[in-house]
Amino acid sequence: MRAIRIESTGGPDVLELTELPVPEPAADEVLVTVAAAGVNFIDTYQRSGLYPLELPTGLGLEGAGTITAVGAAVTDRRVGEVVAWTDALGSYAEQVTVVAERTVPVPADIDPAIAAAVMLQGMTAHYLANSTYQLGRDDTVLVYAAAGGVGRILVQLAKRRGARVLACTSTPEKADAVRRLGADEVVFYREVDVPETVRSLTGGTGVDVVYDSVGQATFWDSLQCLRPRGLMVLYGASSGPVGPVDLQELNRHGSLYATRPNLAHYVATPDELTWRAGALFDLMNAGQLEVAVHGRYPLAEAARAHADIESGTTAGKLLLEP
């Protein structure tokens, strides 16, 4: 089978298409023929060495496809079933093994590629809106990269929970997209003083929550956008990691709270994984959640997909389709 591997860390050019033996599922695993694998920023962090992995290694954590074999101990999955997953390293491949209890069945009326597109980014948006902070009608939030993969879904889920959404984006086209998804205000964060703009839009109060996936370039502005005792949620670092922070800064900016969540801790059990994925699938089936696919790439063009996601010009999900 064909798969993407890296022998060393670096830029997109280190991604290599290689031939590997078809993997054998362990007792608790299933073997899946991959319909689509999601491309995410975490993949670029692992490729670059920001998040170290033992080399050589495959890449890609997320995907969907059809089960072609089951391990000896697997009783609740069957050959021919379509499943999706979000934490199987090596998903940039024609076939991959996944621990059975870390898969979720994909409803028959959902395209497997769209299921793959919603797993990591969709469940991230779900925990941000429902668990990291339980948004409600009295809340105002600031969402960075609102036209990106997580951002687009987060805007929709935040509006479903009744929150007022200030959406940070970079172009008029992206602004139109997030307004259509329900954003109440658009902030062109590369062109304006973001804290000043947010204070103006909130009557000087600030927002209850900032959802920041940009990191280094926006972190300090984000703190200044919060109301006293507001919550700073740093869930990504597309501009680079945030350096050490003196916790006294949280006091200076208004007795703030700050968290750096990770999806793995919000889908730690099979029940929680099934709940989050199922909630998203239900919304999709009801026509109440739009999932945008920005680009589909053959496996051999994984390097181009990485370059595109790192360029900051994409709006929606990128998929590799083996």
Tokens 């208004």 found at: 254
- Dihedral angle of Cα 60, 33, 121, 216, to the nearest 10 degrees: 10
Query: What is residue 21's predicted lDDT score, i.e. its pLDDT?
Result: 96
Euclidean distance between CA atoms 148 and 312, whole angstroms: 9
Q: What separation in angstroms does the CA of 153 have from each of 34, 124, 296? A: 24, 9, 19
Banded model confidence at residue 86, pLDDT cuts 50, 70, 90: very high
Euclidean distance between CA atoms 297 and 12, whole angstroms: 14
Euclidean distance between CA atoms 251 and 49, whole angstroms: 34
Query: What is residue 217's predicted lDDT score, i.e. its pLDDT?
Result: 84
Query: What is residue 313's predicted lDDT score, i.e. its pLDDT?
Result: 81
Nearest to 61 by CA among 241, 262, 216: 262
Region 48-56: what's the mean pLDDT?
94
Euclidean distance between CA atoms 8 and 18, whole angstroms: 14
Helix ranges (DSSP H) in 241-316: 248-252, 263-266, 270-285, 302-311
User: Would residue 18 be called left, alpha or beta, if left means φ above 0 and alpha means ψ between -120 and 50 degrees?
Assistant: beta
| Residue 67 main-chain phi, psi, to 5 deg | -70, 130
Query: What is residue 218's predicted lDDT score, i.e. its pLDDT?
Result: 86
Region 253-262: what's the mean pLDDT?
96
Write the pLDDT tens digit of every residue in 196-222.
999 999 999 999 999 999 888 889 999
Nearest to 259 by CA among 87, 131, 122, 119: 131
Question: Domain segments of the chain: what residues?
Answer: 2-119+267-320, 137-260
Superfamily of domain 137-260: NAD(P)-binding Rossmann-like Domain (3.40.50.720)
Instruction: Please give the distance of CA 215 from its chain centroid, rounded to a whole number.
Output: 15
- 91 in Cβ contact with 60 (< 8 Å): yes
Region 269-298: what's the mean pLDDT?
95
Superfamily of domain 2-119+267-320: Medium-chain alcohol dehydrogenases, catalytic domain (3.90.180.10)
Burial (Cβ within 10 Å: 0-12, 13-18, ≥19) of residue 268 = exposed
Is the pTM of the predicted complex or chain greater than 0.85? yes
Query: What is residue 319's predicted lDDT score, i.e. its pLDDT?
Result: 97
**Averaged pLDDT score across all residues of the chain:** 95
Write the pLDDT tens digit of every residue in 266-282.
999 999 999 999 999 99
